[in-house]
Structure 1
Amino acid sequence: MKKIIIHRLLTALTTLVLANSAVATDVLRLSGYGPVSRSMGGTAVAHYTGPAGMMVNPATLSLAPEGYTFSGGLDIITADISNQSKVDGSRAVTSDHSSNRGPYYAPEFGIIFQQDKLTMGVGAYALGGLGTEYGTDSFLSDDVNGDPTGLDNSSRLLVMNIPFAVSYQFSDNFSVGGSVDAMWAGMNLNLLLTTAQIGGLAAGGNVSGSLVGPLLGMSPTAAHISFTKNNFIDSGASAWGVGARVGAIWQPQESTTVGFSYNFPSELGDLSGYADLTAVIAGPNPVISGEITVKDFQMPGVLTIGVSHNITPDWLLAVDLSRVYWADVLKDIKTSFSSAAGNLDLNFPQNYKDQSVFGIGTSYKVNKLTLRAGYRYATSGIDGDFMFSTLPVNPTRHISAGFGYQLSEDSNIDFSYTYAVTEKTHNDQVLNTPEPMVNSHSQDNVSITYSVNF
């Protein structure tokens, strides 16, 4: 394992220098954890960002004040996503059609305890996710003949982490930390596939099962799969699993900190739940109910190195470089539908690519107020021709700002606002979309926490 991490460190350094242009930022992962990190371009590996630091580099917990530190808050995310057909210019725009999707709320909570050289902590944070809601009357809900089906296209993915972290300060300038995480992932999906899309998937060997023959015998113009729960967090298909990360910080001088962390790939179980499969035919649409499994859906390993430097006692500058190993975990989205009538296996090609991510942030303290700003950029996670309209991962650039205010000697509030700059992605392959189209995606994120030391 040590050789793998060293090899990846060298690979990341080389690739970050030679990185190409991008079409996604952090893909399914959030661009930072907690408002301190988020407002500073997602940087967190080499400076103290509060208890949320256990989500990136647990060793930074050694920089916390003695005693207990509690932090609790909320992430609020809204997205502006639209798809425009290259055939006739029709548009499908995501919006809020139910309590299931948008705005998206993700809670964050952490408590740490430091005594002497040992720091321990536990928390609950959203690791990542996405969501769309296109309703039932856009061109995404039309069958192969362009006729409306009235069937929904929507999605929601939420991945939560519950880290149990520990950090130990071996000397005045060197600390090592690690965490073991309980993880939960939940997915909702309503997806219409035209027979042209199904044919393209079948040609690549991505459709199989005993239901294929009976469905084709109905001469459908489309098929619709639905597994969703219309509530705050619970999802149509979900699973528990584990994750882990290790990290270290080193201070070559009092004003400078160098950080390193490696987040191991997740070990989630297969997401499972109940689903409906609908065949769109000339007449009443038959619906088959059964069980759905999303196989081997995992979050990737992440290697991060960074440095922070106090230009003055009140002015901090931080830079992080990350390599995110998506290619190891998301070659295909593999689904299996099983019912009393038979089974249907669908594999959706994704061919995700490893990402390089650059984050830079700064903070400046003026009395009780700390002002923060940052920028984040990443290379491509997926080629446009493999993109789903219901799983958009487009934004490449995040611009962020925020502040912290000391309410009392022992408590403070932190706030951040992040804007994901509008990005357009072209999908010209009729496989994961019903027709060639252009996807446009921007995003707004607000994060706020209250922290107290005692």
Structure 2
Amino acid sequence: MNKKQIFTRSAIAVAMLASAPQAFAAGFQINAQSATGIGRAFAGDAVIADNASVMARNPAAMALFDEKAFSIGFETITSMIEVSDARYNYVDKTFTPKSASIADNDDVGGTSVAPNIHFIMPINEKFAVGVNAYSNFGTKTEFADDYTATEYGGLTDVKSFNFGIAGSYRLNEQWSFGAGLDLIYGQGTMKRVANSNLPLIGGKPLLDVDSADGFAVGFNVGTVFELDENNRFGLAYRYSPEFEAKDDKGQKITLPLPDIAEFSGFHKLENTKFAVHYSIQYIGWSKFDQIDFENLQDSVLTGPYQKPYEWQDGWHYAIGGTYYLNSDWTLRAGYMYDTSAQDQLTSISVPDSDRQWFSAGFTYHLDPKSNIDFGFTYLMGQKVSVSESTSVNAPVGPGGSVVPVNISGVTATTQANAILMGLQYSRSF
């Protein structure tokens, strides 16, 4: 590894503070921008603008700040993934059909940390600029080496970190607009070994891509419309590029990331201490049709290899409330329904389902200029029936001709729940 690679990976490691967060939204999207967002299931987050983290959801919302704002925090993600009722069907080295049950597995998940930092600086009454860094995609599942269906378990570790710069412009008292650029650093590791009992490929590595990394560039745009100081709407769109990463052996992963659009509203009820807020978010997961692998080495898979996923577009529907108790305390809660990205094709290595978020949090104001936020979410997923299969070309056709042979398959039930907690410090000056 050369000095440039060492520096790059060391800098990213310091910035990320921890290994990849386990996915806790549909697909492998993670909402790790703020503790306040976790405390209200991210309802209204593209327009509330109660701290600098709003620029991660909508750059136009920076126009709502009349002084510099800074936020720094982290989220912990504890995932609880169960794989049960699994059955492994395969053909042995004599191409004789076999079947075996697999013990239930409830230790596929783990706990990870995702940091974030945001800074907004108004230049004048019209313009503001901001910079931030946070994680927005990530998943990690790791099965034991002795897991029976090794070609479906193994290690899947995909993560990204977003470095953003953005600007906003206030057109008039009602309309504001914003845009930003995203420099995305990503890293992926995927390891699969064929079960030793399988013909032709038994005991051999199928995939062994280790810490492939790279950079890509995306962008985001948004607008805010203010009816008055207590009622406003936000609309934002984020373009995510197709991401390419290479490891030290020159093996390459091509990973398509989804575009995201979000509409949010915020309404503080007149003559009360209560506000209601909501969001609808679209995630273009149909873009994630497959992962491409190239230049594979030390693998029985030669040439380019494609792992199909064929996901469907996802939606988040969130509603929340904020209660401004007094000058010291602000309380919040929220609920989100999060639709699955998986459609006809399912996977035990990236379990997914429709999910429900139950969230609560608070802000404690240290003084008029600074505060601490805490957020908590329990994320509950549904049980999903999973079915996967593997085929290889084998000389078993008429006259010894080579034909595709389905040599193994796995069926199981998966369920992924999670506990999210966030802590954040914010200050204006």
* Category of TM-score, reference length = shorter chain: 0.7 to 0.9
Unaligned runs of 5+ in 1: 1-23, 97-101, 144-151, 198-215, 229-235, 275-289
Q: 1:195 offset after TM fit, Å?
A: 9.0
Alpha-carbon distance between aligned partners in 2 of 1:73 and 1:320, rounded to the nearest angstrom: 23
Deviation at 1:224, TM superposition (A): 4.0
Cα distance change on mapping 1:85 and 1:167 into 2, 3 Å: same
Correspondence 1:225 to 2:207:
yes
Q: Is residue 2:65 matched to residue 1:91?
A: no
SS of structure 2 residue aligned to 1:52: helix
Structure 2 residue corresponding to 1:325, chosen from 284, 287, 294? 284
Partner of 1:10: none
- Deviation of 1:95 (Å): 4.8
CA contact (8 A) 1:395 1:442 kept: no
CA distance in 1, matches of 2:112, 2:273: 34
Shift of 1:32: 5.6
2:381 counterpart of 1:381:
no
Q: 1: CA distance between counterparts of 2:114 and 2:136?
A: 9
Q: Does 1:352 find its partner at 2:311?
A: yes
CA contact (8 A) 2:32 2:116 kept: no
Alpha-carbon deviations, 1:39-78, whole Å to 9, x = none? 21212122114222122111111222x3321111111111
Q: Is the 8 A contact 1:196 1:434 kept in 2?
A: no
Q: Which runs of 5+ in 2 are unaligned?
A: 1-23, 88-100, 392-407
Q: Residue 77 of structure 2 contacts residue 420 of structure 2 at CA under 8 Å; is this kept in 1?
A: yes
1:415 aligns with 2:374: yes
2:410 aligned counterpart, secondary structure: coil
Q: What residue in structure 2 maps to residue 121 of structure 1? A: 130
2:53 partner SS: helix
Corresponding residue for residue 246 of structure 1: 221
- 3-state SS of paired residue (2:28): coil
Q: CA deviation at 1:417?
A: 0.9
8 A Cα contact 1:301 1:325, kept in partner: yes
Report the counterpart of residue 187 of structure 1 in structure 2: 188
After TM superposition, the structure 1 = structure 2 runs for residues 11-50 of structure 1, keeping only pairs within 5 Å, are 25-31=25-31, 33-43=33-43, 44-50=45-51
Counterpart AA for 1:369: W
Checking the alignment, whether the CA contact within 8 Å between 1:248 and 1:261 is kept in structure 2 is yes
User: How far apart in 2 are the matches of 1:317 and 1:170?
Assistant: 26
Deviation by residue 1:276-331 (Cα, 9 ceiling, x = unmatched): xxxxxxxxxxxxxx432112x13211121121100145311111112211112x11
Contact 1:422/1:441, CA 8 A, preserved across alignment: yes
Q: 1:100-111, aligned counterparts within 5 Å?
A: 102-111=110-119
Give, in whole Å, the separation in 1 of the partners of 2:181 and 2:151.
45
Question: How far off its partner does 1:118 sit?
Answer: 1.5
Match of 1:271 in 2: 245
Match of 2:398 in 1: none
Q: What amino acid does structure 1 have at the position aligned with 2:341? A: G
Q: Deviation at 1:116?
A: 2.0
Higher mean displacement: 437-446 or 83-92: 83-92
**d(CA) in 1 for partners of 2:215 and 2:72?**
23
Change (3 A) 1:108 1:420: same
Corresponding residue of 2:8: none
Report the AA paired with residue 126 of structure 1. Answer: S
Q: State whether structure 2 residue 313 is matched by structure 1 residue 304.
A: no
1:441 and 2:416 aligned: yes
The residue type paired with residue 122 of structure 1 is V
Change (3 A) 1:219 1:189: closer
Q: Give the aligned partner of residue 162 of structure 2.
A: 161
Who is 2:97 aligned against?
none
Deviations 1:68-127 (A, max 9, x none): 21111111111111212443252223357xxxxx32111101111113222110010111
Displaced runs of 4+ in structure 1, greater than 6 A? none
Instruction: Please tell me whether the aligned partners of residues 193 and 434 of structure 1 are also in contact (alpha carbons under 8 angstroms).
Output: no
The residue that corresponds to 2:90 in the other structure is: none
Determine which of 286, 307, 322 is the counterpart of 1:363: 322
The answer to whether structure 1 residue 391 and structure 2 residue 350 are counterparts is: yes
Q: Give the percent of matched residue pairs that are identical in Structure 1 and Structure 2.
A: 21
Shift of 1:193: 4.1
Secondary structure of the structure 1 residue equivalent to 2:251: strand
CA distance in 1, matches of 2:126, 2:374: 30
- Corresponding residue SS for 1:428: strand
Question: What count of residue pairs does the alignment treat as equivalent?
Answer: 372
Q: Contact conserved, 2:31 with 2:136, CA < 8 A, in 1? A: no
Query: How far off its partner does 1:221 sit?
Result: 5.5
Is the CA contact (8 Å cut-off) linking 1:32 and 1:41 kept in structure 2? no
Deviation at 1:223, TM superposition (A): 3.5
* Contact 1:395 1:441 survives alignment (8 Å): no
Tell me the amino acid that sits aligned with residue 131 of structure 2.
V
Alignment-derived partner of residue 173 in structure 1: 174
Letter in 2 for 1:67: E
Q: Report the equivalent of 2:428.
A: 453
Structure 1: distance between partners of 2:420 and 2:125: 37
| CA-to-aligned-CA distance 1:395-414 (integer Å, 9 cap, x gap) | 51111111111011211011
Q: Do the aligned partners of 1:386 and 1:431 also contact (CA within 8 Å) in 2?
A: no
1:170/1:142 CA distance change after superposition, 3 Å: closer
Distance 1:404 1:394 in 2: 31
Q: Which of the residues 385, 400, 406 maps onto 2:365?
A: 406
Aligned to 1:138: 147
Shift of the 255–49 alpha-carbon distance from structure 1 to 2, 3 Å rule, reads closer
Letter aligned with residue 441 of structure 1: A
Residues 148, 195 of structure 2: 8 Å contact kept: no
Counterpart amino acid of residue 254 in structure 1: E
* Structure 1 Cα separation of the partners of residues 74 and 25 of structure 2: 21
SS at match of 2:235: strand
Letter in 2 for 1:111: F
Partner SS state of residue 59, structure 1 = helix
Q: Which amino acid aligns with 1:298?
A: P
Q: CA deviation at 1:178?
A: 1.1
* Separation (CA, whole Å) in 2 of partners of 1:320 and 1:196: 50
User: How many angstroms apart in 2 are the aligned matches of 1:415 and 1:335?
Assistant: 41
SS at match of 1:159: strand
Deviation of 1:243 after TM superposition, in Å, equals 1.1
Q: Is the CA contact (8 Å cut-off) linking 1:314 and 1:365 kept in structure 2? A: yes
